[in-house]
Structure 1
């Protein structure tokens, strides 16, 4: 059952998400094609993550389940950021805050209960990440929604974070199709496989953040009216 979910739902959805994200990254921001590809990315990622959570549950992988709900949160809140008009929030933003706080609390306690080598530090990372996200959500709610550059930056970094994990998941599936397993590879080879897509996406996201902050402030300053 798990393999059916992974190969018939999870992997195809992730592939569509990566294609849609590529189109969105290299098209004019705010244009019709950018918005449509962004919608395809969001829907595909939600399908990929929900199916991934189910597969992780079936194989009793707590770490993968936690990763699924964290990335599901970043995709969802990235979409929410541009779904509303500027300076507008609603029940879904409040729900997202409760969501990430719950994830952070769960990860914090998992940090003390998990005995697998190396895993506790990972849970502590997710707990810390949840705190950072929750602080951003509280600020967003306090201001009744962001506008202009702040709004765009919130959308970009959350999409970028989500895209990194989508790319890593895609890489993992490609490796498995070749009859290998990333977790069983030599450390240097695994680092190379993980680093290439991560660094590539980080460069693109940093480019857009720098471009928005220093070269396109006027263009994005009134975004989302």
Structure 2
């Protein structure tokens, strides 16, 4: 598979757009116009990043990033489908996304076995464990995809948390690739472990916080309302 000359530049450009749009969506108020607009730009940019990354990976015979691109694209598409659950494409993705994540899992396991059986014990200069890590991530996605597909009428908390944490996971991949793989564009003074890791860790903290709040917030509110307060507690 040939690699067009400008594809690397396009890949880097859409990656920058994805990081900036993801940051805008993260900082804006959820559900507002700016949040939806920046989220849409982020999703489109991430799909472009995943597709261009897949093309580059196939052209350069880098199997590891083939699966990484597939996982990123899958996370974005299924997140979008959860938020736009009434669209025909969203319904299709909700029903059959488990096949894609399952296929990524099997492919990553095969990559790990190839790495383990090679004379050097590596593939793409990576040990088998790197591929098995992607297989584990894909397996987790597959299990959640299958559970979600069985729910024909998901409650708001279900589809909202699915949308939120998968977008956050995709943003984690985008920031990780940018700050640890393409940080040469940053001034040298910023290329320190603390500076480079802070945005990535911030995305993880943000995703975990809002995913937990979305999933368990209604339950905690109901529990709090059922607990007597003040003098009522002693009656």
TM-score range, shorter chain: 0.7 to 0.9
Q: Which has the larger radius of gyration?
A: 2
Residue of structure 2 equivalent to 1:42: 43
Counterpart check, 1:79 vs 2:80? yes
CA distance in 2, matches of 1:176, 1:48: 18
SS in 1 for 2:29: coil
Q: Which moved more, 1:47-56 or 1:139-148?
A: 139-148
Counterpart check, 1:168 vs 2:176? yes
CA distance in 1, matches of 2:186, 2:37: 33
Q: How many residues align?
A: 209
SS in 2 for 1:90: helix
Alignment of 1:1-225 (within 5 A): 1=3, 4-7=6-9, 9-85=10-86, 90-114=91-115, 115-116=121-122, 118-172=126-180, 174-177=182-185, 192=194, 195-213=197-215, 215=217
| C-alpha deviation, 1:194, in angstroms | 5.9
Q: Given the two structures, how large is their TM-score scaled by the length of structure 2?
A: 0.78
CA distance in 2, matches of 1:150, 1:10: 33
Q: Alignment RMSD, CA only?
A: 2.9
CA distance in 2, matches of 1:109, 1:101: 12
Q: Which moved more, 1:205-214 or 1:115-124?
A: 205-214
Q: Given the two structures, how large is their TM-score scaled by the length of structure 1?
A: 0.81
| C-alpha deviation, 1:76, in angstroms | 0.8
Structure 2 regions of 5+ residues with no counterpart? Answer: 116-120, 222-235
CA distance in 2, matches of 1:23, 1:53: 26
Q: Is the 8 A contact 1:2 1:58 kept in 2?
A: no
CA distance in 2, matches of 1:49, 1:207: 26
Q: Which has the higher contact order (CA 8 A, sep 6+)?
A: 1
